[in-house]
Amino acid sequence: MAERSPRGALRRGLTFWRRSIQARVVASTVLLSAVVIAAVGWLLLQQTQEGLLDNRVDAVLAEAANETAEANRGLTRVPGTDVDVGTQLNDLVDPIKLRGAARGFEVVLAGPAGSGNPLSAGGTRSSPGLDVSSVPQSLQERFAGPAGPGWTFTRIRVVQPDGDVREGPGIAVGSQIVLKADGEIYTLYYLFPLDEDAETLSLVTRALLTAAGVLLVLVAGLTWLVTRQVVTPIRLARRVAERLAAGELQERLRVTGEDDLARLATSFNQMASSLQKQIRQLEELSRVQRRFVSDVSHELRTPLTTVRMAGDVLHDARRGFDPATARAAELLQTELDRFETLLADLLEISRFDAGAAQLESDDVNLVDVAHRVVDMTRVLADQRGVAVLVRAPEHGCLAEADVRRVERIVRNLVTNAIDHAESRDVVIQVEGDESAAAIAVRDYGVGLAAGESAMVFNRFWRADPARARTSGGTGLGLSIALEDTHLHGGWLQAWGRPGEGAQFRLTLPRRAGGVLRQSPIPLVPEDSQELV
């Protein structure tokens, strides 16, 4: 349900946006094209508008000048004895009104100049229906006294005979004449509508917008097609790479043509082949090694059993030997124990390598495991003068695991801690919650240098090669512990600092096969200076 909500759609859209280069390229191209087209369109329209207006203004001024010249010509011919102002004004403006009606302009005759009356005060003669307020105030002010012809833009309002009101942009031109009858200056205002120009401009605008829309769709389509040509092989390569990563090493890209993409595919295929070859070689080498170790271990068991039996005889009979020989028999017995342990560990490792390790899961209380391991290692601890303490909650910390392997892991960790504790305490902390259980072993010994915490789980690795293996460890204990942990789907991590000791933390999922998200115990111990 949530996926259908707008929020879900938005999230899907954003995911698509993040994942699709094609979508981003198309969107960017369309956006940039829109900007460019808008700018160019704006420029074109601006130019068209300017051109139209310039032409219109020129024509209008010429026509107005013509009308005024005509009026002046008429006035020049008026007999000087004609003193009827009203009639003369009517005779002057009536033909202009008629011509205006035929040629599509309006006229206002106002005056005399200097009376100070605005046009709205009346006393004007104008084309029928014309609202004299169409003559802008600025133009009226110019002609308050004698002035040369002038023009400006305005809004013309005409009430048509049928009652409709026609309104629109226009040009107002004013020029003055001297009336013969009274010698006063009167002003003729001509109002030319810009309807045709507005129509032309809107036609051009519509055409440009349509063209821009079509162009944008074309650009989007073209970009989609072009990016598809590039993106499709890349997607193909991605899929092949994913399969290679999944182990399908035989996957290859199909190479067509000789272009850059074809060469990329060829190189990719060569890389895949090379990797496949090396991986095969390494696998083979690893298999041979494992087989060798396994074989050697098995082969060593039979003579070891014999040596063991002979050793046991000697050991049992040591009391009858002189002290030196008795000591040798004891040493032999001890080394035989270590040899057997080493051999057992090697075999265990071989089993892991061969993938033959089996898990017998059951609910295990890690608190019990901790106590049992403390009991098991008490002898060794006492020998080293190390006190092993357990900090566990009242409740049990349960995890579904193979108790034998978990005990082995913990024992390995505790033994390792006692080895490096340098007579200081070793603390075992157990914690658990509903999703995971963890056990951490903390020592305050030499600690781990930077980068060593990742290497401690390597086979036969030792921090200081010169240092003796006093506890009789084989050098495989932590490796086996790590394998055991991986078998459980758990984490085994180490933390350490030189001089501050180390902490190893085992985290197991509460349920077998569960996925770990976090550990109940922090990897870095609370008493470390790192947290301070």
Is 79 a binding residue for other proteins by CB under 8 A? The answer is yes
Considering only 1, 4, 18, 81, the residue that binds other proteins (CB under 8 A) is 81
189 strand-pairing partners: 108, 174
For the residues of 244-299, what is the DSSP string, one character each? HHTT-TT--PPP-SSSHHHHHHHHHHHHHHHHHHHHHHHHHHHHHHHHHHHHHHHH
Quick one: which H or E segment has residue 348? helix 323-354
Kindly report the number of other CB atoms within 10 A of residue 223's CB atom.
18
What does DSSP assign to residue 456? T
Pick the binder of other proteins from 22, 29, 41, 478 (CB under 8 A).
Answer: 41
Considering the complex, state which of residue 174 and residue 490 has its C-beta at the smaller distance from other proteins. 174
One-letter amino acid at 92 equals: L
Give the separation between CA 244 and CA 270, rounded to whole angstroms.
Answer: 13
Separation CA 278–CA 267 (nearest Å): 16
Q: Is 78 a binder of other proteins (CB under 8 A)?
A: yes
At its nearest, how many Å lie between other proteins and the CB of residue 193? Answer: 10
Cβ count within 10 A of residue 181: 19
Site for other proteins in 158-177 (CB under 8 A): 169, 173, 175-177
Applying CB under 8 A, among 108, 194, 272, 414 the residue interacting with other proteins is: 194
57 vs 455 by CB, closer to other proteins: 57
Scanning 48-56, 289-297, 310-318, 412-420 for contacts with other proteins by CB under 8 A, the matching segment is 48-56
The CB-based long-range contact list for 65-69 (8 Å cut-off, 24+ gap) reads: 65/149, 65/175, 67/96, 67/99, 67/107, 67/188, 67/190, 68/149, 68/175, 68/177, 68/188
- Using the rule CB under 8 A, is 94 a contact of other proteins? yes
Q: For residues 111 and 233, which CB has a smaller minimum distance to other proteins in the complex?
A: 111
Q: Which amino acid is present at 468?
A: A
Nearer to other proteins by Cβ, of 198 and 512: the residue is 198
The smaller minimum CB distance to other proteins, of residues 87 and 518, is found at 87
Site membership for other proteins, residue 26 (CB under 8 A):
no
Query: Rounded to whole angstroms, how far apart are CA atoms 128 and 97?
Result: 8
With contacts defined by CB under 8 A, how many residues of the chain interact with other proteins? 68
Q: Rule CB under 8 A: is residue 70 a binding residue for other proteins?
A: yes
- Stretch of residues binding other proteins (CB under 8 A), selected from 197-205, 235-243, 245-253, 328-336: 197-205
Alpha helices in 163-259 (DSSP H): 195-245
- Is position 49 an interface residue for other proteins (rule: CB under 8 A)? yes
Binding positions for other proteins, 110-169, rule CB under 8 A: 136, 138-139, 142, 146-155, 169
Candidates 5-13, 46-54, 292-300, 456-464: pick the segment binding other proteins (CB under 8 A).
46-54
Contacts of 505 (CB under 8 A, 6+ apart): 438, 439, 440, 441, 491, 492, 493, 494, 495, 519, 521, 523
For tokens 């009652």, the residue is: 163
Residue 23 binds to other proteins (criterion: CB under 8 A): no
Q: Is 185 in the site for other proteins (CB under 8 A)?
A: yes
Distance CA 188, CA 175 (A): 5
Instruction: Return the ∠ at Cα 504 (arms to 498 and 510), rounded to 5°.
Output: 160
Provide, rounded to whole angstroms, the least separation between the CB of residue 12 and other proteins.
20
Please state the closest distance from residue 187 (CB atom) to other proteins, in A: 9
Minimum separation from the CB atom of position 362 to other proteins (A): 56
CB 482, CB 408: distance < 8 Å: no
Determine if 182 is a binding residue for other proteins (CB under 8 A): yes
Q: Which is nearer to other proteins, 153 or 292 (CB)?
A: 153
| Of residues 421-480, those binding other proteins (CB under 8 A) | none
- The answer to the question of residue 414 lying near other proteins (CB under 8 A) is no
Please report, as ranges, the residues that interact with other proteins according to CB under 8 A: 28, 31-32, 34-35, 38-39, 41-42, 45-46, 48-49, 53, 61, 64-65, 69-70, 72-83, 88, 91-92, 94-95, 98, 136, 138-139, 142, 146-155, 169, 173, 175-178, 180-183, 185, 194, 197-198, 201-202, 205
